[in-house]
Amino acid sequence: MITQQRIIEILKEAGVLLEGHFKLTSGRHSNQYLQCAKIFRNTKYSEGLCAALAEQYQDSNVQVVIGPAMGAVQMAYEVSRPLHCENFFTERDENGKMTLRRGFVVNPGEKVLVVEDVVTTGGSVREVIDLVNAAGGDVVGVGSIVDRTGGKIDFGVPFKAVISVDVQSWEPQDCPLCKEGAPAPVKPGSRKI
């Protein structure tokens, strides 16, 4: 079992946990940012964290691990390895709807673990859950490396994270960093807002 202290060390070493003045995808401002994609640039970071997550679902008889593209493509693979099951990913179609492509199919009754590198609002996870349910699959749980809600989110199935943090954020007009005259916030994420 990996300790919380070691998890924090890994996040810092991998350059995941950033401090400064950031504009989040939601438009809110924060003094911290978690760039979880960096976990997957080196297996020395991803293997242990994903194994720790998989361990929490060891007794769930998971048959397939599914993650939304892009953030959870590699993660689905890494989590599926210790669970000895299949993995694949969902992606958005030309209309922005979450879908299964590339011949990936969820079979009726198939036990599915949905994964996401970081959960903030849970929007993408909910879309994947809906997709699995519509196909007749059985979502046995949701897993993430980082839960940014501090344990406040509910997907209607067990949700487990390697680490749970409550990252402070503010509406732009309430941002203490802006009020102190800090340089304009940076947007380190992958989505343009």
Each residue of 101-141: pLDDT tens digit?
A: 898 999 999 999 999 998 878 889 999 999 999 999 999 99
Band (pLDDT 50/70/90 cuts) for residue 193 is very low
Report helix angle 43-55 to 4-13, nearest 10: 150
Q: Find the mean pLDDT for residues 68-85.
A: 93
pLDDT score of 28 more than 70: yes
Alpha carbons 20 and 146: distance in angstroms, whole number? 19
What rounded mean pLDDT belongs to the chain?
Answer: 90
The tens digit of pLDDT for each residue in 33-66 reads: 888 888 888 899 999 999 999 999 999 999 999 9
For residues 31 and 168, is the Cβ–Cβ distance under 8 A? yes
